[in-house]
């Protein structure tokens, strides 16, 4: 007697094999049969006309704080994700000495744009060590499964104190201790270790976060500790993708991988040097052939900062905007349509000199910024950028931006493509996505809450690359390929061999999807974070049901009361 049978669906099982029509049976949270005539069941879900897929495994999120206070983990919940991996980019909240908690909060806000007010109000700090952090996460009822990594910045701070914060060179004793703590964390269930090597990730004072300049011996020493644990990997964010220190960065990654610890890093097409990604991909191929496994994580669509009067925009720091900032939306729009207010805001200069404000002062920004339109268009016509629109209208880009943002009652979005669209072509993304070595990553769910909204990446793969590209189109991706790319492949990268496919014995994480109805909604600003802070939320249509461990957690965009989610604790190392 099965607990559940999903009947009559088009099964895309995550292995890459062709789709077929059949049933999926579930017993005790596991898949107990796939095919037809599977026997008796206590409950049936009819899936005629629907896709039945594994749940998505999203390996690049930043729910490190949100996972403590939020059992739902939206937006991932709304996009078919059933397992998330956090602790990326070298930032997180464990291990931590009590007197360093505020430092980690400030660093997370600066690097990942998560409001410190929410982090301070929402995190209860029931831990110091990393195993204690895992136990605290495990004590919270939740919808999705969560796995996490040991972040370099808190680890360095924990071991080295102020020397670590100042990016001083680690001593052999420091390295030995960091390696031992990492190994113990992985043995307790961490899925890996992460580090940041980019100058973009800095404290509010502009100081690169701890670990940015770590010497090769430090990184290789930690990698050796991971290898000794017998499982886990090292995740890296590096400025090599911007063409900086490419030889140096790849050399240490090769040496670290030679210890037996796999390396994964974010790979994207950078605007200034749009061909660097090809060189890095070729280096990964050569390293893997030599037995040093280095795996790129790639993106589903251009990485974009969203400008909107609901969130971040070029006028937010102008003196005349200050009295409008906290007005209800309707009153704010009424004021912004006032010709006198418009004239003052267009005449004023942004007094700030850091952060996102720097973008607005660069002419090149407007050549890479596009109206998103309705429906949302993530691959816009290159001739429809803001600079071109302004020239056509005979106005400045600043004037064009103001008027474009007022459209749709002030809920319109402009999209500044910071990576992945340097040549205004899908080709680089297509080549990266279809490369056999790459894994889907980079959704950044849980981070950049006011101006990046890429937690819908998995849904976008199904709509834009599968359904909306005709089969004869060069850029069409087969459904079997896409499902495998964001379920089995991502799960296996992080050593999760109990999920990601619809096969007997696997964890019963499933999606029932109406592909024809599948769609990504326009982002909207909501104030549901602790301390009433805002974030952009983007939901989806067409997920008829999402199932975790055999329990339905959402139906047609409405969450259920089920809380089957667990903390994923690594049990095997990734395949070499």
Q: What is the pLDDT of residue 73?
A: 97
Q: What is d(CA 137, CA 496) in angstroms, rounded to the nearest whole number?
A: 18
Q: What is d(CA 439, CA 476) in angstroms, rounded to the nearest whole number?
A: 18
Structure-token pair, residue 545 = 């049901």
Q: What is d(CA 225, CA 248) in angstroms, rounded to the nearest whole number?
A: 22
Torsion (CA) 202, 166, 214, 491 in degrees, nearest 10: -50
Torsion (CA) 108, 112, 116, 118 in degrees, nearest 10: -120
Q: Please give the domain boundaries of the chain with CATH numbers for all domains.
A: 86-302+422-448 (3.20.20.140), 305-417 (no CATH)
Per-residue tens of pLDDT for the chain, all 576 residues:
999 999 999 999 999 999 999 999 999 999 999 999 999 999 999 999 999 999 999 999 999 999 999 999 999 999 999 999 999 999 999 999 999 999 999 999 999 999 999 999 999 999 999 999 999 999 999 999 999 999 999 999 999 999 999 999 999 999 999 999 999 999 999 999 999 999 999 988 889 999 999 999 999 999 999 999 999 999 999 999 999 999 999 999 999 999 999 999 999 999 989 999 999 999 999 999 999 999 999 999 999 999 999 989 999 999 999 999 989 999 999 999 999 999 999 999 888 766 677 778 787 899 999 999 888 999 999 999 999 999 999 999 999 999 999 999 999 999 999 999 999 999 999 999 999 999 999 899 999 999 999 999 999 999 999 999 988 899 999 999 999 999 999 999 999 999 999 999 999 999 999 999 999 999 999 999 999 999 999 999 999 999 999 999 999 999 999 999 999 997 644 433
pTM for the full model?
0.96
Q: What is the pLDDT of residue 574?
A: 42
Q: What is the pLDDT of residue 573?
A: 43
Please name which of 101, 118, 102 lies closest in space to residue 62, comparing C-alpha atoms: 118
Report DSSP state, residue 166: T
Please name which of 31, 35, 12 lies closest in space to residue 22, comparing C-alpha atoms: 35
Q: Which residues of 52-76 are buried (b: 16+ CB within 10 A; e: fewer)?
A: bbbbbbbbbbbbbbbbbebebbbbb
Ordered alpha helix ranges (H), 305-375: 329-336, 339-347, 357-360, 363-367
């Amino acid at each position: 007697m099965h607990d559940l049978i999903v009947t009559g669906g088009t099964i895309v099982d995550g292995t890459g094999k062709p789709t077929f029509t059949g049933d999926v049976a579930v017993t005790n949270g596991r898949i107990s049969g796939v095919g037809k005539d599977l026997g008796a069941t206590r409950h049936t879900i009819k899936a005629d006309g629907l896709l039945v897929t594994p749940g998505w495994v999203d390996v690049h999120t930043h729910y490190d704080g949100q996972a403590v206070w939020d059992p739902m983990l939206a937006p991932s919940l709304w996009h078919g994700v059933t397992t998330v991996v956090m602790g990326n980019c070298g930032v997180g909240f464990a291990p931590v000495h009590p007197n360093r908690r505020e430092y980690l909060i400030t660093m997370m806000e600066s690097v990942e744009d998560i409001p410190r007010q929410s982090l301070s109000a929402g995190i209860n700090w029931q831990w110091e060590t990393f195993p204690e952090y895992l136990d605290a996460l495990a004590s919270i009822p939740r919808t999705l499964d969560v796995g996490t990594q040991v972040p370099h910045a808190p680890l360095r701070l924990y071991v080295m104190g102020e020397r670590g914060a100042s990016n001083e060179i680690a001593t052999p004793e420091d390295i030995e201790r960091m390696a031992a703590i990492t190994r113990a964390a992985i043995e307790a269930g961490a899925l890996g270790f992460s580090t940041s090597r980019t100058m973009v990730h800095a404290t509010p004072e502009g100081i690169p976060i701890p670990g940015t300049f770590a010497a090769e011996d430090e990184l290789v020493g930690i990698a050796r500790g991971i290898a000794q644990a017998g499982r886990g990997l090292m995740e890296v964010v590096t400025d090599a993708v911007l063409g900086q220190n490419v030889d140096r960065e790849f050399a240490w990654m090769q040496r670290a991988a030679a210890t037996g610890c796999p390396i994964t890093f974010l790979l994207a097409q950078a605007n200034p040097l749009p061909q660097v990604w090809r060189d890095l991909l070729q280096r990964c191929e050569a390293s893997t052939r030599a037995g040093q496994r280095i795996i790129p994580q790639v993106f589903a669509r251009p990485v974009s900062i969203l400008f909107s009067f609901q969130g971040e925009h070029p006028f937010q720091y102008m003196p005349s905007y200050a009295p409008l900032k906290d007005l209800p939306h309707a009153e704010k729009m009424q004021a912004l349509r006032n010709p006198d207010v418009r004239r003052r805001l267009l005449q004023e200069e942004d007094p700030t000199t850091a952060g996102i404000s720097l973008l607005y002062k660069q002419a090149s920004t407007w050549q890479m910024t596009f109206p998103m339109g309705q429906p949302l268009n993530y691959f816009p016509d290159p001739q429809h950028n803001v600079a071109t629109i302004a020239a056509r209208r005979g106005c400045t880009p600043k004037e064009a931006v103001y008027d474009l943002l007022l459209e749709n009652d002030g809920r319109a979005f402009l999209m500044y493509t910071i990576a992945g669209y340097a040549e205004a072509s899908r080709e680089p993304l297509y080549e990266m996505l279809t490369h056999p070595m790459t894994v889907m990553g980079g959704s950044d769910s849980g981070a950049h809450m006011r101006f990046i909204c890429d937690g819908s990446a998995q849904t976008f793969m199904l709509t834009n690359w599968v359904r909306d590209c005709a089969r004869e189109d060069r850029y069409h991706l087969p459904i079997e390929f896409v499902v495998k790319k964001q379920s089995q492949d991502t799960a296996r990268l992080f050593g999760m061999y109990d999920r990601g496919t619809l096969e007997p014995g696997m964890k019963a994480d499933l999606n029932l999807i109406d592909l024809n109805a599948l769609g990504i909604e326009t982002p909207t600003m909501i104030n549901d974070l602790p301390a009433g802070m805002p974030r952009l939320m983007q939901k989806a249509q067409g997920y008829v049901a999402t199932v975790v461990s055999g329990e339905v957690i959402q139906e047609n965009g409405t969450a259920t009361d089920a809380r089957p989610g667990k903390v994923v604790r690594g049990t095997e190392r990734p395949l070499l």
